[in-house]
Structure 1
């Protein structure tokens, strides 16, 4: 099934209800019955970006919503199971941080798939026999081992690891280069990740030093060294169609604009003939396809196509994950009481990544688009009713939990709702792009 067919599964029930269905619904009873500890554990997902600029793995960052409360092992396992961590680990490397006590207290085998990896934070505090026994138990369970060198941990631990984590900002480049080279010679199959990477330039530097992955705030940012060219013809066609839909032009005029780009025509017909829409016969006429799909569905598709057309690089796919996650999260925050608000908040999340994707100032991009004033205010000036929900999405994306809780409280979102919304959005976004 194509990307856009899967994508519109997120909206396929809009004719029956104003709220988009979740790909992985959590029944109210399940939430109510979940242990309080598990329900109040936030799992942040730190993207591990590889040499092709794709998201190849995640470093999980569990946080308790209750300040100064340690995370109990059983609650953590249940929180990770609710995140469907094992499903992620079927395709991507997933690093799960635990303490020695947590590993020993609970059976974590339900989380293990072929790319599951446990990071034992206090492994270096064990004596050699106890450490060897713990590592052996992780291997016997079928998982990999990560070792954290971000805080000057003992390099001797590296020999037992499958994955090593470094802090790019704390060590000198000469030291990092020498260490990575030495470890690569000792253990060629060892994977190494640089954390705390701030820019795409630093990402490229880390790759040149021999790192396999980078983590940090750079992944959703603009690549400062990428030349900003003109907006492509395909994207200009999509933008013009979006503007025409907002102006309620005749379907014939909309179809004429679409015909300037054969790819747009093919994808609109493909979507119209998708089983999701259940049309009784195949549609071959573009104007008829637009009429049958409805203006709202076409507008949503075009908004997403604005990101997807001409987006073939690994970095484009990475940015698409951020855009879809933000959009789905904001749509859930909006709720089902006001369809227009939900659609506009989805659009805010989706378009918030355009500056990074196109390498152009947001003001220059939005000059070509006729957007609702509330959407433009949030994207351009960080103002209006959608600005704070967008800030909330960004805070969760960056694992800034304290800030997220304050923002959520200000817009009357409970901690449980906050975690559910983020988990659902993250799962949907990563599955859509990851399976394309």
Structure 2
């Protein structure tokens, strides 16, 4: 219900204010602490399972000021701000720490039943088994890199092994996988997967989860096909709303597909609207929903009108995160700009969803010129913010920070906007 309220504008996702020009900051007083949000940027990378669904996340962190080393207390405070305890209670959450960070701070408040702690420099620790035992004793699960999972690790308390998918030859990797699969309950994860084809290969050779920037890309092996009638109806209705078509025309288009009719009536009759009677007329349902809410619902229906397909749901989460981030960063520049930004983010994955070239998909939709320029030609103001969102998805943090600076976004604005966008989009997984 909370997600529906956010989605249809009754409780819009909170967005940070537009960046404001500030005078140069004065040097901090000796010993004064810089807010953690201005120092550490986290990127949440999806871990996809065999059904192409988001099964968990891996957190990547970096200090925005490269001169600073992230201390244990700083990363602990940043993880608390990210609400990782909640996330780790819902699905696997892989958090990378150094041995020093782990030893110099108390992470008990961020640990949940599915929190995995990966000690990135465990190979330099003289007592690796003891360190893993400490993680287990704190209530977390343990994770190591595959090159640390040698013969010496046979008795280590292990819950997850992270493989650098492209680092070693496939035959060598398969042999290592076979030996590790003998350990009950051990989660094997492939990192650096770059395509849907590689994801399927990882599943075949024994990996349970894949991490990489492929989730938002087109599946090149997907058979070409026609856009379904349900999605054509949705596209036509989107065009009609943008053209201020009469309600009767909208209803007539919806009647071409029973699935659209059923979902519209279900929405209108949901407890969200609190009506004393059931709505039976399609025109009445459309009137009740209103054009803005209907437009947003139709945009999302592109992703889920045909059922609960795992890949479609994953793309929906990615699209929502992009849309909310771009809309949040456009706040303060006017409603039209914010609405256009939302559309750019939402439709930026439409080609992957429909497995058709973007030009072919957009040929079915009447869109503002600025939106088309961003989606088709990577041009204009919105395109730069879309590039920023994609950089964050793919953990290109250095590039993201440089581009954010060029766009005059402060680190605090970028971090808070991304955090809120991801939280709003991730709510889809919990519905």
TM over 0.5: yes
Q: TM-score, length-normalised on structure 1? A: 0.90
Match of 2:14 in 1: 22
Q: Is the 8 A contact 1:166 1:192 kept in 2?
A: yes
Aligned residue pairs total 416
- Which consecutive unaligned segments of at least 5 residues does structure 1 have? 15-19, 26-32
Gapped runs of 5+ residues in structure 2?
18-31
Alpha-carbon shift at residue 159 of structure 1 (Å): 4.4
Q: Distance in 1 between matches of 2:84 and 2:16?
A: 13
Structure 1 residues 384 and 267: alpha-carbon distance in aligned structure 2, compared to 1, 3 A threshold = same
Of 162, 167, 170, the residue aligned with 2:164 is 167
Task: Tell me the distance in 1 between the aligned counterparts of 2:195 and 2:280.
Answer: 46
Which residue does the alignment assign to 1:206?
A: 202
**Maintained 8 Å contact 1:43/1:63:** yes
Q: In the alignment, what sits opposite 1:30?
A: none
Q: Out of 280-289 and 98-107, give the one that drifted further.
A: 280-289
State the distance in 1 between where 2:389 and 2:111 align: 29
Match of 2:175 in 1: 178
Partner of 2:406: 410
Structure 1 distance, partners of 2:139, 2:153, is 19
Residue 59 in structure 1 maps to residue 50 in structure 2: no
Question: Structure 1 34/420 Cα, relative in aligned 2: closer, same or farther at 3 Å?
Answer: farther
Q: In the alignment, is the contact (CA less than 8 A) between 1:47 and 1:215 conserved in 2? A: yes
Q: Greater CA deviation, 94-103 or 266-275?
A: 266-275
Equivalent residues in 2 for 1:61-76 (5 A)? 61-76=60-75
Separation (CA, whole Å) in 2 of partners of 1:70 and 1:353? 36
Mapped contact 1:311–1:317 kept (Cα < 8 A): no
Q: Give the Å deviation of 1:313.
A: 2.1
Q: Does 1:341 align with 2:337?
A: yes
What are the equivalent positions in structure 2 for 1:17-416 lying under 5 Å apart? 20-22=12-14, 35-127=34-126, 130-149=127-146, 154=150, 156-157=152-153, 159-160=155-156, 161-185=158-182, 187-277=183-273, 282-416=278-412
The aligned residue for residue 430 of structure 2 is: 435
Structure 2 partner of 1:28: none
- Across the aligned residues of Structure 1 and Structure 2, the Cα RMSD in angstroms comes to 2.1
Shift of residue 200, structure 1, vs aligned partner: 0.9
- 1:87 to 1:23, Cα distance in 2 relative to 1, 3 A: farther
Aligned partner of 1:17 in structure 2 is none
Secondary structure at 2:215's aligned position in 1? helix
CA distance in structure 1 between the partners assigned to 2:145 and 2:13 by the alignment: 39
1:124–1:153 Cα contact (<8 Å) kept: no
SS in 2 for 1:89: helix
Is the CA contact (8 Å cut-off) linking 2:39 and 2:65 kept in structure 1?
yes
Which whole-Å deviations, capped at 9, do the CAs of 1:304-362 have from their partners, x for residues lacking one? 11122125321111111111100110110110451111111111101001111111000
Q: Deviations over 1:367-387 (max 9, x none)?
A: 111111111111000012211
SS, match of residue 381 in structure 2:
coil
Deviates more, 1:301-310 or 1:335-344: 335-344
Partner of 2:144, secondary structure, is strand
Q: How far, CA to CA, are the matches of 2:276 and 2:392 in structure 1?
A: 43
User: Could you tell me how far 1:404 is from its partner in structure 2?
Assistant: 1.4
Question: Relative to structure 1, is the Cα distance of residues 193 and 175 closer, same or farther in structure 2, using a 3 angstrom cutoff?
Answer: same
In the TM superposition, what is the alpha-carbon distance from 1:68 to its structure 2 partner?
3.4
Give the secondary-structure state (helix, strand or coil) at the position aligned to 2:214: helix
Say which is worse superposed, 89-98 or 154-163, in terms of deviation.
154-163
Structure 1 residue 38: deviation in Å?
Answer: 4.5
Correspondence for 2:21: none
Partner secondary structure for residue 170 of structure 1: coil
Query: Are 1:424 and 2:416 counterparts?
Result: no
Asked whether the equivalents of residues 300 and 316 of structure 2 are also in contact (C-alpha less than 8 Å), the reply is: no
SS at match of 2:73: helix
1:83 CA displacement: 0.9
How far 1:74 moved relative to its partner?
1.0
1: CA distance between counterparts of 2:35 and 2:172? 45
Residues 280-323 of structure 1: per-residue CA shift (max 9 Å, x gap): 65433221222232212211111111122125321111111111
Other structure's SS at 1:360 match: coil
Q: Is the 8 A contact 1:10 1:23 kept in 2?
A: no
Are residues 344 and 311 of structure 1, via their aligned partners in 2, closer, same or farther at CA, if it must alter by over 3 Å? farther
Distance 2:349 2:175 in 1: 36
Offset from partner CA, 1:83-136 (integer Å, 9 cap, x none): 111111112111111111111111101111110110011222222xx3333222
